[in-house]
Amino acid sequence: MVNEEVDILKKSEQVPVLVDFWAPWCGPCRFLGPIIEELAREANGLWQLVKVNTDEQPEFMHKYHIQGIPTMKMFYNRQVIGEQVGALPKHELKRWIESLIPTPEKKEWTALSQRLSSVNEQEGKKLLEEFISRFPSHQEARILWLRSVVWHEPQKALNHLREWKDLGAHTDLVQDIEALARLMTFNPEGKTKVDDMLSEAAAHLRSNDIEGALRKLVDSIMYDKHAHDELARKACIAIFHHLGEQHELTKVWRRRFSMALY
């Protein structure tokens, strides 16, 4: 019989504990059982397996809101950090377990994410650079860094974006960085009215006057929305993504932006 406090909760203070809720009559449980046990042996103590027979200990079903079996729950520091209902092939189950296992990288990122909300932009950029130097494959850190850098060093952001090809799947990010970098470095050969508007928008962005930039971009769209491969439209969308949908400037200018397009 499994002692919840000793075998699961207390043990989870030291190492992640995967609890397999099963029953002898459950066909998928019989399929899954040997797979989990094999993965536990291969883990060499990185995580521990506890099997709970729900026929013998039905109280677990109610306490942990288990609707069907097999159900797996990963515990760490006395908390459930992940859940999977139903059987999985070995490679998928292994990938799911590995995604939950705490690592130094995950722990540092959690701490950094909390700290970023209380520091200024320059310090945040420095902290991200330090983190990326230690964990260069961390995508979320690189995305945040790119979004920060593009406002002051657009060409640097664009160069790194092209170097980090694995970020290509983040379509919105790629389009946003490219649009902002193009606008911030805008230097037209000609001198049309649209060119003047886009140059002024870029100047507003460089001085952190986002509303001024949006005003000039919308004016540019109204005058010629197709100019420079729709740069004004793409830059507006990038700014809205940066601000977030709930920001007051987004609420005001997205409506004007939409009206300018049609």
Q: Which two tokens stand for residue 245?
A: 């949908």
Are the C-beta atoms of residues 103 and 137 closer than 8 Å to each other?
Answer: no
Per the annotation, the verdict on 236 as an active-site residue is no
214-238 per-residue burial string, b: 16 or more CB within 10 A, e: under 16: bbbbbbbbeeebebbebbbbbbbbb
Q: Which residues contact 260 (CB under 8 A, 6 or more apart)?
A: 218, 221, 222, 225
User: What is the DSSP secondary structure assignment for residue 46, as one 8-state letter?
Assistant: S
Question: Would you say how long the chain is, in residues?
Answer: 262
The answer to whether the Cα torsion of 92, 94, 99, 105 is positive or negative is negative
| The Cα angle at residue 111 between residues 166 and 72, in degrees rounded to 5 | 75
Active-site residue, 26 included: yes
The continuous run of DSSP H or E covering 246 comes out as none
Q: Is 204 helix (H, G, I), strand (E, B) or coil?
A: helix
> Which entry of 8, 18, 26, 87 is annotated as an active-site residue?
26
Catalytic residue among 17, 19, 29, 235: 29
Which residues are marked as active site?
Answer: 26, 29
